[in-house]
Structure 1
Amino acid sequence: MNITDLGLNDFRMDLLNHIKAHGDLGHLPNGLHAVVPPNVNLGLHPGVIFSLRNRNSNVNVNQHNRLHPYYLIYMGNNGKVLIDHTRIKSLLDLVRGNCKGVNRPIPSVCQLFNAKTDDGRDMKPYSDLLGQAIRSMVEIKEEKDIDSLFSGVHTTALVDTIKGLDDFELISFLVILEEEQ
């Protein structure tokens, strides 16, 4: 399956245009991040959107992730899932609406992020949110597995399970950080 089969053709075209203008993304290191201010009118609240890759290509959370082996999940700063990994189009629309065309760092939120993280040396709050994000994906898979046992269709319960953080690698993340007044 490819991105055109998913009703995500606009995003595919954006990606192709970006690659044409800036080259392939394969050479970029994992863990890249950007910081933007919230835009509540467009649904972007303080938190973080993680982009992950599942290391086990056999696991596809019951076919509920249309971008497998890649996963997106949006976490609020309070540890609550704002948009889960099964709502890919919503997540992509949100990121696109708030980030497309922004090609320079936003100094005010970048400086605040650097101050809060000791220039990236103290990433514990984001590491904690990443752990919570992965736990939420595991819980959703377990719920879907249990539902599949009673649905009368093929079940994926106990097959190719996601165990936790070690099953994923962090590709990138978008921090949504409220500027202090």
Structure 2
Amino acid sequence: MALDGTIPSQLGNLSFLVSLDLSNNTFTGHLPDELVHLRRSKFVNLWFNKFSGHLPSGLGALGRLQQLILGNNSFTGTIPPSLFNMSKLETLILYSNILQGMIPQHIGNLRNLKILDIQHNQLTSSLPLAIFNISSLQAIAFTNNSISGSLPMDVSHRLSNLQGLYLSYNEINGKIPSSLMS
């Protein structure tokens, strides 16, 4: 719709909102902290905008959220560990931002996660082993970061639903588990 400007903090007053899709616009600025009041939300899509600043740690309070799509923006800073309090989250897309630092070990709390896409950022941690305990995962996309470490040899047994594993342009080392070849 070619909408632009900033997101007003009053958006947080829409506490009845279940779905918020502002994707493919040119919104700028920071996400208002008041988004934490959207407690009924199951779907938040802010893909392809020009948002900047840190990801609000309060987003972790959105306990009903199933999809959080914040890709193709200019978010900076680290991934707040509070995001991993969203126990119903199935899709987390932070693709193509300027996020730095580590992938928090708390990621293992997301037991319903199916899609994890944090490609094209500036993450520098080692592969968090907790990811390999999320049996619901179907896709893991870490391409183009500086993630190090190696894959567990039993990765295909731990992640029996895995359909896509994207690790190129990182600093992954070690052997490719033979179980991935079958």
**TM-score (norm. length: structure 1):** 0.26
Q: 1 or 2 for the larger relative contact order (CA 8 Å, sep ≥6)? A: 1
Greater helix fraction, Structure 1 or Structure 2: 1
Greater strand fraction, Structure 1 or Structure 2: 2
**TM-score (norm. length: structure 2):** 0.25
